Amino acid sequence: MTKTIVITSGKGGVGKTTTSASFAVGLATRGYKTAVVDFDIGLRNLDLIMGCERRVVYDFVNVIRKEANLNQALIRDKHIKELFILPASQTRDKDALTVEGVAEVLAELSKTFDYIVCDSPAGIERGAQLAMYFADSAIVVTNPEVSSVRDSDRMLGLLSSKTKRAEDGRDKITEHLLLTRYSPKRVARGDMLSLSDVNEILAIPLLGVIPESQAVLRASNSGDPVILDKDSDAGQAYLDAVARFLGENVSHRFIEEERNWLKRLLNFKKEVV
Amino acid sequence: MKKEPCFQFKANFLPCAVLQILSDDWTHFDQQLTDAVRKAPSFFLNLPVVIDLDKISAVEQINFLHLKELLVAHQMVPLGVRGGSDAQHQLAEANSLSLLPGGKLSNFDKKQDKKEELILLTKLVTTPVRSGMQIYARDGDLIVTASVSAGAEVLADGNVHIYGPLRGRVLAGVTGNLQARIFCDALEAELVSIAGYYLTKDDCQKQALSPGMKQIYLENEHVRIEMIQPQRVPAEMV
């Protein structure tokens, strides 16, 4: 049974595409045949993050308009053979997406893929609504600041009312919170909302906390999703999140300020001297 | 060829008097009416009159013909009757007095019906009301057992009960019910309103509120927030 996951947030720049790329890679690495679809028509980014921008010939809109078939548009990932990317069109806008067209493409993908990851555009307009419309589960990407939290809250409202599952009266979409760009240090200083602040407002299960990390920008620029950078904190956090998504019991990390024995020893020395 | 329109309807309000009948003693009625007309003859001249039967609904046989004659004699224009019993209505119509809406008795009946409806129309919401959502309980109460987020709006014609954290806008008695109340626990609302009277978040925060159940109601056109003190049984009585 194919599972369709939407990565959404409402607000822009919180890490939807980074999360879509890393999640798709994470699922494919586990052996699941995965497709990641860029719904951000007109602001194509996923192909850059995935490092396949030079191989884009046909796109999502071409497939919807029957100008190309799905196999022509799907791009095989350079690292993992189980992973395919369906890029967005850069020259069209979101009105090029239709409910019937999206339904058809997703149905076609369902025949061969285990997971379909839908990278939603920012906002609550057509693109974002279609990205979530057919989803079985949603990963709500949130930054620890008030406007991002409020926008996520709005998206959760839409997820429970403006999706096919809601309209059909089936079981509701499973919701997951992914808190990104988290800095325990800044939380301690009171500059940032804490995990419990966000949890109190959104009140949905926590999938993971991705720490603010230099590795993310580096990964985006090089076109290798950060989850492949296994030594980085953000990469490890995404690996944990994928494991939790698949039902494994992994304890949360990167929530408290790091205090390893070496640092503690140095602090202790300082205090003694 | 197109004809000129022969008529047009216009909505309008005409002044008219409601004559509430308190007794069917028509001799005294005539005397008192004569006195009243003498005091302000121009006011009563051609005055349209609605006969209100609420206070005399127990009297089954009313001489409507005589009553009409009395009014016409004093140069008033009887329009019809309102209120009263069904038997009275039949009698009035037989005397070519039309039946007009309104009157306390008929209203009273409606209210009784409405009360039953209110119980049925209570709306229950068990999932969080998220930012951007609006929930309206028409003609009834609203109960929310989950949170109401900032940017969400919950409204009811009746009372609103909220058991989760309240951070959005909450409006009770939106169609003007001054008796409507809001009941909540954690009050961090952006706006609370009863029948159009409101407090903003700043207004709410000026009042030092301790945790616990609160009720919000209207008193002399002011929105009041009050802690609900549970009735505790004194220790020595246990």
- Chain A nearest C-alpha distance from B206 (Å): 23
Q: Do B150 and A203 touch (CB under 8 A)?
A: no
According to the model, what pLDDT value does residue A2 have?
96
Q: Which of A129, A153, A173 to mutate to probe the B interface, most B CBs <10 Å?
A: A153
Q: What percent of chain B has pLDDT over 90?
A: 37
Whole-prediction pTM = 0.69
Which two tokens mark B139?
Answer: 């003609």
pLDDT tens-digit profile of A168-206? Answer: 989 999 999 999 999 999 999 999 999 999 999 999 999
Q: Do A153 and B127 touch (CB under 8 A)?
A: no
Which of A153, A160, A161 is closest, CB to CB, to B131? A153
Question: Of A123, A109, A101, whose CA–CA distance to A42 is shortest?
Answer: A123
Question: Is the Cβ of B130 closer than 8 Å to some Cβ of chain A?
Answer: yes
pLDDT tens-digit profile of B20-61? Answer: 888 888 888 888 888 888 888 888 888 888 998 888 888 878
ipTM metric: 0.75
Q: How far is CA A237 from CA A11, A139, B47, in A?
A: 22, 15, 85
Name the more confident of B102 and A88. Answer: A88
Query: Would you say residue B223 has pLDDT above 70?
Result: yes
Assess contact for A176 and A182: CB atoms under 8 A: no
Question: Is the Cβ of B128 closer than 8 Å to some Cβ of chain A?
Answer: yes
Q: Do B127 and A200 touch (CB under 8 A)?
A: no
Q: Do A200 and B131 touch (CB under 8 A)?
A: no
Assess contact for A187 and A145: CB atoms under 8 A: no
Question: Is the Cβ of B186 closer than 8 Å to some Cβ of chain A?
Answer: no
Query: Would you say residue B153 has pLDDT above 50?
Result: yes
Domains in chain B, ordered, with CATH? 7-99 (3.30.70.260), 112-227 (2.160.20.70)
Assess contact for A233 and A205: CB atoms under 8 A: no
Non-local (6+) Cβ contacts of A66 within 8 A are none
| A77 DSSP assignment | -
Instruction: Calculate mean pLDDT across residues B165-193.
Output: 94
DSSP β-bridge partners for residue A175: A138
Instruction: Calculate mean pLDDT across residues A250-270.
Output: 72
d(CA A19, CA B12) in angstroms, rounded, equals 65
- Chain B nearest C-alpha distance from A15 (Å): 21
- Chain A nearest C-alpha distance from B147 (Å): 8
Query: Would you say residue A165 has pLDDT above 50?
Result: yes
Contacts of A197 in chain B (CB under 8 A): none
Contacts of B185 in chain A (CB under 8 A): none
Assess contact for B139 and B111: CB atoms under 8 A: no
d(CA A54, CA A60) in angstroms, rounded, equals 16
| B15 DSSP assignment | -
Which of A150, A161, A200 is closest, CB to CB, to B151? A150
pLDDT tens-digit profile of B66-115? Answer: 888 888 988 888 888 888 888 888 888 888 888 887 765 544 444 455 55
Question: Of A202, A235, A34, A57, whose CA–CA distance to A117 is shortest?
Answer: A34
Q: How far is CA A111 from CA A5, A107, A246, in A?
A: 16, 7, 21
pLDDT tens-digit profile of A17-54? Answer: 999 999 999 999 999 999 999 999 999 999 999 999 99
Q: Do A200 and B165 touch (CB under 8 A)?
A: yes
Identify the H or E element spanning A166: helix A164-168
Q: Do B130 and A201 touch (CB under 8 A)?
A: no
- Chain A nearest C-alpha distance from B88 (Å): 53
d(CA B78, CA A156) in angstroms, rounded, equals 62
Instruction: Calculate mean pLDDT across residues B11-16.
Output: 76
Of the listed ranges A102-111, B58-67, B122-131, the one predicted with least confidence: B58-67
Question: Is the Cβ of B127 closer than 8 Å to some Cβ of chain A?
Answer: yes
d(CA A111, CA A106) in angstroms, rounded, equals 9
Question: Of A139, A144, A179, A181, whose CA–CA distance to A159 is shortest?
Answer: A139
Non-local (6+) Cβ contacts of A178 within 8 A are A19, A139, A140, A141, A142, A207, A208, A209, A210, A241
